Chain A
């Protein structure tokens, strides 16, 4: 089978090629290619061999009602994000606005996914790097308390998704216009005790994670996230950059683009104004909206001394942990006051139209655009997931990091690069289906 690191012997002119055939503890399948000649870094490619699945093409001709169910299948880790961006984009096309009580239920569902997805990454995929293990199962033998806490927290997120969404992976309850059925009080209220316990666990683990050693490595990021005047961003807001650009999501495609660069067959996401890559995800969100974290999460951010703007990718695990605290705290508030809404779904009449929306997936901004015909069938779809937006930034980070690592043997250098990539919680399953990735002809 595949070997993780295949090191070719050093060739003449001191050419060094390092390949990570298969990156581990990331979602989906990708690798890294690094080339160094005479002590200088020549090439860094995040290589993606995840096969394309053509969602934008297969959606054409399908009824709009199926879009949240179909796009959920893009990613088993963050299906709710796809469902949320899909329903908001379609509701824009249909001219539907959901009432506040349904909007709150949608925020609650997103809380469940942030908890589930972030805890998976922080506790099961990322912490092994900091604590020196191959993975969560190896870590469980030596540090069972860390793993037990992660499993418990993840279960809390999953239980919310199951009760509100029907199931944790590919929930079945999200509809254009609202929900197929609003949960009864007796379905949601029992979660209050779990969330209270979860909040303490999340605070405790964030404090411990803050004590870990973080490499000092700062990057000149342009951080991009949804920004809402009153709430930490989930489903609504303007898209803002670190240099004060603030646009409506309808303008997204004017300001952000994917371009082809001369040295690579991969298209890179850039700001059209600067021609440079940008950063989406937890660090981008907390840099914009730290003051909008719920009070406990906000105080915890102060207590652990998270500096914002934070430009150290290794500290993203702190932003992610704080967002878990936030999601549990906000979820708890919604659960405590939950009353079933009078109606679970707003009716609509399809007409020829188009609409777009962006929401904050656990990994960052997720943009959807759809066009509909007069009977509500999809005529065009465009989906831009967070990992494809981060890809150019990941490569830029690697270019900045590698020169300081050239003294290391190949395998250690590769491991350090993989660790940097992992900070992004990249979801390659998501990115490849749209991203114009380079799958090279040999």
Chain B
């Protein structure tokens, strides 16, 4: 029998939810444990072994200088590196600081900001090191996680769908919240993976899985603008749990510049 795959689970700025998905695999977790040796997973075990690792699962975004160093070491120690979740793949909700004044943020939360060591940005793992595979979601879908781990164990390249949430709504038979209720929904430009949960609960998709393949973010905002949706609503929808994903970031920035220009024109006209 071949040696077990040595797995490390590493956490950066995050909520612990994606690594918890691993523990939530329940019965499959024990079967997986027969093929995988978990040698670094602080949340789950006091067993701590140094690298090399066959596979590193990385949760969280890079927000401190120390973490920017630590991820380099994780990369050096790992044959394959897979990011899990929206923080690691798209900066997470904490990347809202990328559009704010960092000093203001520090002062808003901490009485003594000088004790806090933190970068002015929250960036995805891929902005720092080579990433072999990204698993989306806030949180990740645990069945996708299982699927990906099983593929890697078999030596296959994992496949996760990149189509939009809309397709899942249609498959599920959910009435479209945008067409039927006029609710601005991120579904048309968000990657599937959650099972189109929110529309099935009578609310708009808010983008947990980040931009889908061939995202037409411009088409999305043009349509919503034509329906009278204010720019700020669209900007805040794009700047949320996957705020630092390229397609969401650039469309949000374009809308912001546009609305500033419009405001300036109106001011000069008056």
Contact = CB atoms under 8 A, between A and B. Distances in A.
Given A433-B109, A439-B115, A181 B201 contact: yes
B253 interface: no
A434 interface: yes
B33 A137 contact: yes
Nearest to A53: B94
Contacts of B77: 1
Interface string A59-87: 01011001001100111110100000000
Nearest to B204: A180
Interface stretch (B9-17, B160-168, B244-252, B259-267): B9-17
Interface stretch (A167-175, A335-343, A396-404): A167-175
A136 B45 contact: yes
Contacts of B93: 53, 55, 58, 70, 73
Given A28-B16, A29-B42, A51-B64, A140 B30 contact: yes
Contacts of A169: 17, 20-21, 24, 139
A175 B203 CA distance: 10
Interface in B9-48: 11-21, 23-24, 26-27, 29-30, 33, 38, 40-48
Contact of A154 (B11, B26, B45): B26
A25 interface: yes
A66 B203 CA distance: 12
Given A169-B21, A170-B138, A73 B92 contact: yes
A63 B236 contact: yes
A94 interface: no
Contacts of B29: 137, 151
Given A2-B48, A155-B26, A169-B20, A69 B206 contact: yes
Nearest to A76: B17
Contact of A1 (B12, B73, B201): B73
Q: In the complex, which of the residues A23, A27, A74 has the most CB atoms of chain B within 10 Å of its own CB atom?
A: A27
A433 B16 CA distance: 13
B45 A138 contact: yes
Given A25-B42, A125-B44, 19 more contacts: A25-B43, A27-B43, A28-B11, A29-B11, A51-B13, A52-B63, A53-B63, A53-B122, A54-B94, A55-B109, A58-B93, A58-B105, A73-B93, A124-B44, A140-B33, A147-B30, A151-B29, A169-B17, A439-B115
